[in-house]
Amino acid sequence: MSVLPILIFPDTRLKEKSAPVSEFTPEVAALIADLQDTMHASAGGVGISAPQVGFPKRIIVVDVSAHRRGSQEHNHGFLVLINPEILARGGRQIVREGCMSIPDYTANIERAQWVLVDALDRTGKQVILESIGFEAVAIQHEMDHLDGILFLDRVISIKTDIFRRKKYR
Ligand code: NI
């Protein structure tokens, strides 16, 4: 298991659509372990997607349980979601988001308040889960990466909703 280098905006690979996972090989298992290590190596990291480390596969990992807001709300702990699809969504929330691939900025982004997600777990078994609040934001953010969408693409006002920061946290 290892911490992988993260592609940084404006790397064009971040704009590509990732392919579904069809076989649960040892290579896929190793990639998931590396994603987990890479996410946890970043202070404040609550999610990462396979395309951000150069593997255009529809795999995300999310864990908001150690985050100051995520830990206060219902969450599922460490999640591996493969080929995830949103079956239903509702409500709205505006949350300040960051991204390991865009280390210099944060932005206020509007997301659904809750999502119902259909995915496969790391063994290929179907999981259907409902997520709310901050965890739902992280899932929506990471799922966007699978379609080549970055939070900058969802900013409503460049003048008022983007913020520069000194370091990733
Ligand atoms: Ni991101």
CA of 45 to the centre of ligand 1 (A): 9
Structural domain includes residue 120? yes
Pick the catalytic residue from 23, 110, 135, 142.
142
Structural domain includes residue 79? yes
Structural domain includes residue 71? yes
Structural domain includes residue 117? yes
135-156 pLDDT, tens digit each: 999 999 999 999 999 999 999 8
Q: What residue numbers bound the domain in which 136 lies?
A: 12-164
From residue 118, alpha-carbon distances to 74, 84, 87 in Å are 18, 6, 7
Beta-carbon contacts of 8 under 8 Å, excluding residues fewer than 6 positions away, are 101, 102, 103
Structural domain includes residue 92? yes
Structural domain includes residue 54? yes
Q: Which pLDDT score is estimated for 43?
A: 83
For the question of whether the overall pTM of this predicted structure is more than 0.85, the answer is yes
Structural domain includes residue 3? no
Preceding peptide of 5 cis, ω within 30°: no
Element (H, E) at 120: strand 114-120
Q: How many domains does the chain have?
A: 1
Confidence of residue 88 (pLDDT cuts 50, 70, 90): very high
CA of 124 to the centre of ligand 1 (A): 24
> For residue 167, is pLDDT > 70?
no
Q: Determine the Cα–Cα distance for residues 81 and 157; give it in Å rounded to an integer.
A: 31
CA of 4 to the centre of ligand 1 (A): 15
Contact (Cβ atoms closer than 8 angstroms) between residue 65 and residue 49:
no
- CATH number of the domain at 69, please: 3.90.45.10
User: Could you say which DSSP state residue 42 is in?
Assistant: S
108-136 pLDDT, tens digit each: 999 999 999 999 999 999 999 999 999 99
Confidence of residue 158 (pLDDT cuts 50, 70, 90): confident
CA of 143 to the centre of ligand 1 (A): 9
Please state which of the ranges 6-10, 29-33, 140-144, 165-169 shows the lowest mean pLDDT: 165-169
CA of 49 to the centre of ligand 1 (A): 7
Checking phi first, is residue 71 left (phi over 0); if not, alpha (psi -120 to 50) or beta? alpha
Structural domain includes residue 169? no
**Annotation says 142 is catalytic:** yes
> For residue 168, is pLDDT > 60?
no
Contact (Cβ atoms closer than 8 angstroms) between residue 122 and residue 80:
yes
